[in-house]
Structure 1
Amino acid sequence: MLSIGSLKSVLPASARSLIRAGWLRGVGTSAVSQGFKQANIVIVNKQLADDFEKFCLANNEPLPLLYRSKPGEWSAPPLSTNSDIRTACPQYRKYEGGNFTGNLNNLVEYTEQLKDMVTFYLGCSFSFESALLKAGVPIRNIEQGCNISMYKTSIPCIGIGSFQCNMVVSMRPIPIGKLDAAVQITHRMEDAHGAPVHIGHPGLIGIEDLSSPDFGDAVELHPADTPVFWACGVTGAEAVHSCISESPLAFTHAPGSMFITDLRSEPEVTSDCATDAETPRVFCISQNPSHYSVASVTAVEKINALDSLIQQDPGDRGIKHLLVEDQLLKASLSLSHAKSVLITTGFPTHFNKQPPEETDGPPGAIAMAAMLQAQKKRVVIVTDQRALEMNKKIIEEAVEQGVIKSPVPVVSFQDDAEDSSLIFLCHDGKPQFPRFDHLIAIERAGMAADGNYYNMRKVNIKHLVDPIDKLFLTARDIPGIVTTGIGDGGNELGMGKVKEAVKKHIHNGDLIACDVEADFTVIAGVSNWGGYAIACALYILNTCTIHERYLRKAVGFPQMSEMNGYIAALPTVDKEEKLLELLVKHGIRSGKTGNLGMEVDGLLFHDTHSTMIKRLLEIALGQARSN
């Protein structure tokens, strides 16, 4: 009796002979002929072949086309010698009128019908498994002696003619410490589906239960594993299933029972892959639920350069002690995935003036809102009730001045009932239906440990601040909402993550430190700079081909036509100067000095803030040129 272990070194021609003789009937081919490419099989009537080929090209990553046969052609000359598609797979599936009508051991009895049918050979993720194993990445289904797990998802493919379906994915449990290696190896192997389309919680792509795969076997995760999902060629079978009235007869391989080619798999990634500019890196962007994102080394380096630039400390506050690694990067990655974002700003430090707000915060908030809008995300700004009409007017005038393309809704929040925060954040107050994916606070007064709100001079300004902190506190317990705080002194909403450092290193920190934590804490010398940097980082990510592919789940084609809109949404010296003039017109003053003029935190717009904007743009637009 043949064992799975003995099959890994069998040459493809021998494996096909064993399959033809019935020795591998019902065996998954994942562990067979390792180091050779395998292929998914779809066989349709020649009248549907052109549409199916277009469907494959429009959904190239789930269905990478290796070879299209002529009608009635049993062999696949570019892929193998002495192969016969009628007997080359361990098991087949038969479809009539789009409906699955049974498994078959071979297709010999359908020889006459096959003369009018075309066979499509499509790339398979089994082809990259030997490279993963050589790099020390475990393949759990091989370890457990079972077929791989495959699932239907909520990811729609691009429909062509009668072929309309959602993507099917294969899942491999990968140790968290091996995620970079797994992604870096597979992203180069485009004819084997390329890099993963999703890493993390299965529910984010419509999979309810990992223990109940739609195809294949359930594979057990080890404690340090996270589920990683690759586009799967079984998508082709779903496409055939969708073709209900057009397809009288069709065949596919049975999931996991592939056609084994004579072609060697792509060479493994070299040892210097992690420094290649277009190599992907993996980052965790959410713990609840678990969610990872990817970006190229180039994009990561550019965003880290933005981060380093905004960490200048012109006020000499000691912000270097508050820095946490990769916070700008991870916050921006999370925002790139978000569909709906809530932004809050407003620090009424000038308690004896009317209005009491400062010029730091609103410009950064509007810069982020402009880029989020350009990327087709819903954006809402929440502010204090007493400042509501003023902020609505500022947004209206900012649109008129061309600072931002479209109006942003401005609302207030009142904590007047036990579940006010939940009702504000979620449809019908139900945590499973959040209205927002991400909350951002930029230069927003944050609640201290004693429940009060303090400016940097220890003055309690609680009477001027609505309890928007409650939204961030409630969001902690709502799966799917991520929070970011942007600040420059430690008393801003979201700085609770670094409160011990604020108490130790920031003047008056023991009293003024914000107690409310955000998932990500972006520290900048001036908070506006943090907002500008996030806008630039979102531009960098969405013009990074690796990240853009991951966002669209490798379906369809790159959306690089949106780039002009992204460029137009970037903060510029001209736009930010116009916005600051609007704030001054409304009586909003510089935070540190109280001056009513063209300055923020006591620093003149020209040349301090204008120079910062120019340097941030140089980094962002440099990313576009390098890609």
Structure 2
Amino acid sequence: MLTAVRATRCSLSYLRGFSTSAMDAMSGYMQANVVILPNHLADDFEAFCHSNPASLPLLYRSQSGETSCPPLARHADIRTDMSKYRVYEKGQLVKTVSSLQSYTDQARNASEQQDVHHSHQWSDMVCFYLGCSFGFEGRLKTAGVPIRNVEQGRNVSMYRTAVPCIPAGVFSCPVVVSMRPVPAAKLDAAVEVSHLSPLAHGAPVHIGDPALLGIQDLCRPDYGDRLELQPGDVPVFWACGVTAIEAILSSKPSLAFSHSPGSMFLTDILDSPSSTIAPPSDSRNTPSTKPNPELIPLCVLVSHKPLLYSLASQRAVSRIRELERIIGEDPGQRGIQVLCTQDELLRSSLALSHSFSVAITTGFPTHYMHSPPDETDGPPGAIAMATMLLSLGKQVTMVTDRRALEMNQAIIDEAVKTGVLKTAIPLVTFEDCGPDAALHFLCHHGDPSKPRYDHLVAIERSGRAEDGNYYNMRGVNIKHLLDPIDDLFIAAKDIPGIITTGIGDGGNELGMGKLKEKVKNLMPNGSLIACDVPADYAITAGVSNWGGYAVACGLYLLHTCPSHQRYLKKGLGEETPPPQEQLQDWIANLPSVDKEESFLSTLVRFGIRSGKTGNLAMEVDGLTFHPTHSDLITRLLEVTRGSTSQNP
């Protein structure tokens, strides 16, 4: 039942004197953006809405000439029910008016004759009512999230981005986003509240550095007002219905109208997560569906340089945490559980999901008295990550030592031939040829603003200790067998946009310098062997290969998680499961018992030995493939394959 404020549509005249946020607080009813277009463009625009549902959640499409919208409001008249309208002619904003009545009333005197030709066009106009993010501000406040635009008495900031919408017909334009500053501690609350409001743009499409959206200056919004971020605030960006205004400007219809940003249409629908819109008899209008609470996203910090948070559903996160628990088991009794840190796998997998180009390195020549000196731990995990990344469309490069270049090229060729690796990948070396060698390796022309890679991964790669040497677990210096690939991880710390991951099982591996103090204090020979070079994320596993398998599985979970995929795609495209063919390809490129056994047998044929025992046998770190490694792979797959695109 409507409140006294909303007892009749006429009460809008009372509300017009207030800001939109004040209207929201006073009314408790859903608001809508409005676009009014000629009939011949209506089908194109509806397709545009369906292709860009986060920006343009379609609540109702009117009949030609219809001024009411029965599913949204009783006694509505779109010509008078908003406080400000924008009028466009041939894609140009010509004026802002307080009513569209003159465009349907017959002119009564000569002074009105300029509008007579419009009176005959209204019957050919179609109104589109679109969800609005102002709708969830009241619930944000209830959840304890400060509403900075309300506190500052301003409209929200809205920005034109460098992200293109998916075009449809004549409509093509950049995505427009609204920005609300949110304290870091309140990000999960803000994400959950908005996720449960799919008719009001849903969850954010970006959290963090605005430059990643192509926004160069937060102080200069394209629409709305500038907002002041308070200490601890993070800029949070939602898809915005003002995208429709950009669509009008780019398509240049002879006549079009829209709401004026901040002046919304107020509906009769209560503003609550359970609100739905009854489907009208016109099948062109698609009813909303209630959001699935199991897909509520969690917000995870991925990078400080640049600042980036990511989203993944609670179910996907819980499964990745289960993967991390499994690989943290220690059947070899090496005491590695003291190094395990929760969510390193989650954060690394999220960062890799956002990546475009990944460089992977491995190689621990612990058997310095044999030729080759390498061990069977590392390459299988590296190849497992590589083939999943390739399946997801990422660029992958392998970095190796000069001494092992020919052997590793032959191993990669064999992995492709046997179907363990999806396709051939570049294999490169890094040489220390001067103080800027690492910078030039990592970045085009040595320019830190143009990195070749956005993620470096080291798995079971011998890491440089505090004294500059490289030690195996027995404390033997093997520096003479290694190239200074550590320099790449050191240089990456000062290059915005490159994230690093280290995977290890003893603390002397590249990247495990993040855990150096624990290694020095808690691991055998720790004060000598501890790697001094940190990575952004240090994944600890009972056997390093397991960490590589878990990363591959984590990537699969994220790419079958609708909440994460929506965030990756900035809300563009219809929210549908991945095509079956694509899903089957991802499944085929997960690690499997058969593939890992095949690859391990390849390593043994090349004379590569088990790390702990030196045996030339089907074992890794002294643990036989059957049953230890095969059983663990099976358990990882059980956790992973329990997820599908419909049930992440």
CA distance change for structure 1 residues 586 and 233 in 2, over 3 Å: closer, same or farther?
same
Of 605, 622, 625, the residue aligned with 1:605 is 625
How far apart, in 2, do the equivalents of 1:15 and 1:420 lie? 70
Residue aligning to 2:284 = none
How far apart, in 1, do the equivalents of 2:274 and 2:150 lie? 19
How far apart, in 2, do the equivalents of 1:86 and 1:453 lie? 76
Matching of residue 365 in structure 1 with residue 382 in structure 2: yes
Of 169, 172, 183, the residue aligned with 1:164 is 172
How far apart, in 2, do the equivalents of 1:300 and 1:404 lie? 27
Matching of residue 621 in structure 1 with residue 641 in structure 2: yes
Residue aligning to 1:30 = 21
Q: 1:608 Cα deviation (Å)?
A: 0.9
Matching of residue 252 in structure 1 with residue 243 in structure 2: no
Matching of residue 448 in structure 1 with residue 444 in structure 2: no
Residue aligning to 1:219 = 227
Contact 1:334 1:482 in 2 (8 A): yes
Of 31, 42, 60, the residue aligned with 1:49 is 42
Q: 1:102 Cα deviation (Å)?
A: 3.0
TM-score relative to the length of structure 2 = 0.92
Matching of residue 560 in structure 1 with residue 578 in structure 2: yes
Q: Which moved more, 1:355-364 or 1:9-18?
A: 9-18
Q: 1:8 Cα deviation (Å)?
A: 13
Residue aligning to 1:3 = none
CA distance change for structure 1 residues 563 and 107 in 2, over 3 Å: closer, same or farther?
same
Contact 1:522 1:530 in 2 (8 A): yes
Residue aligning to 1:303 = 320
Q: 1:108 Cα deviation (Å)?
A: 2.3
CA distance change for structure 1 residues 496 and 12 in 2, over 3 Å: closer, same or farther?
farther
Q: Secondary structure at the match of 1:196?
A: coil
Of 9, 12, 17, the residue aligned with 2:13 is 17
How far apart, in 2, do the equivalents of 1:257 and 1:430 lie? 45
Matches within 5 A, 1:570-581: 570-581=590-601
Residue aligning to 2:65 = 72
- In structure 1, the gaps of 5 or more residues are 1-6, 270-274
Please give the root-mean-square deviation of Cα atoms over the aligned residues, in Å. Answer: 1.9
1:229-263 CA distance string (max 9 Å, x none): 1110011111111113xx11111111111111111
How far apart, in 2, do the equivalents of 1:266 and 1:404 lie? 49
Q: 1:267 Cα deviation (Å)?
A: 3.6
Q: 1:15 Cα deviation (Å)?
A: 4.8
Q: 1:9 Cα deviation (Å)?
A: 6.7
Amino acid at match of 1:326: D
Matches within 5 A, 1:354-393: 354-393=371-410
Contact 1:584 1:598 in 2 (8 A): yes
Q: 1:75 Cα deviation (Å)?
A: 1.6
Amino acid at match of 2:269: L
CA distance change for structure 1 residues 12 and 374 in 2, over 3 Å: closer, same or farther?
farther
TM-score relative to the length of structure 1 = 0.95
Of 129, 140, 147, the residue aligned with 1:121 is 129
Residue aligning to 2:195 = 187
Contact 1:532 1:571 in 2 (8 A): yes
How far apart, in 1, do the equivalents of 2:332 and 2:528 lie? 20
Q: 1:105 Cα deviation (Å)?
A: 2.6
CA distance change for structure 1 residues 601 and 307 in 2, over 3 Å: closer, same or farther?
same
Residue aligning to 1:426 = 443
How far apart, in 2, do the equivalents of 1:441 and 1:429 lie? 22
How far apart, in 2, do the equivalents of 1:28 and 1:584 lie? 72
Matches within 5 A, 1:259-274: 259-267=265-273
CA distance change for structure 1 residues 11 and 454 in 2, over 3 Å: closer, same or farther?
farther
Residue aligning to 1:284 = 301
How far apart, in 1, do the equivalents of 2:169 and 2:560 lie? 31
Q: How many equivalent residue pairs?
A: 611
Residue aligning to 2:351 = 334
CA distance change for structure 1 residues 210 and 8 in 2, over 3 Å: closer, same or farther?
farther
Matches within 5 A, 1:103-182: 103-111=96-104, 112=119, 113-182=121-190
1:305-324 CA distance string (max 9 Å, x none): 11111111122221111111
How far apart, in 1, do the equivalents of 2:608 and 2:78 lie? 75
Q: Secondary structure at the match of 2:23?
A: coil
How far apart, in 2, do the equivalents of 1:502 and 1:535 lie? 26
Contact 1:41 1:120 in 2 (8 A): yes
Q: 1:437 Cα deviation (Å)?
A: 1.1
How far apart, in 1, do the equivalents of 2:441 and 2:344 lie? 27
Contact 2:24 2:135 in 1 (8 A): no
Contact 2:5 2:11 in 1 (8 A): no
CA distance change for structure 1 residues 445 and 33 in 2, over 3 Å: closer, same or farther?
closer
1:72-131 CA distance string (max 9 Å, x none): 212222211232212222222222222223322322222213222111010001111111
Residue aligning to 1:569 = 589
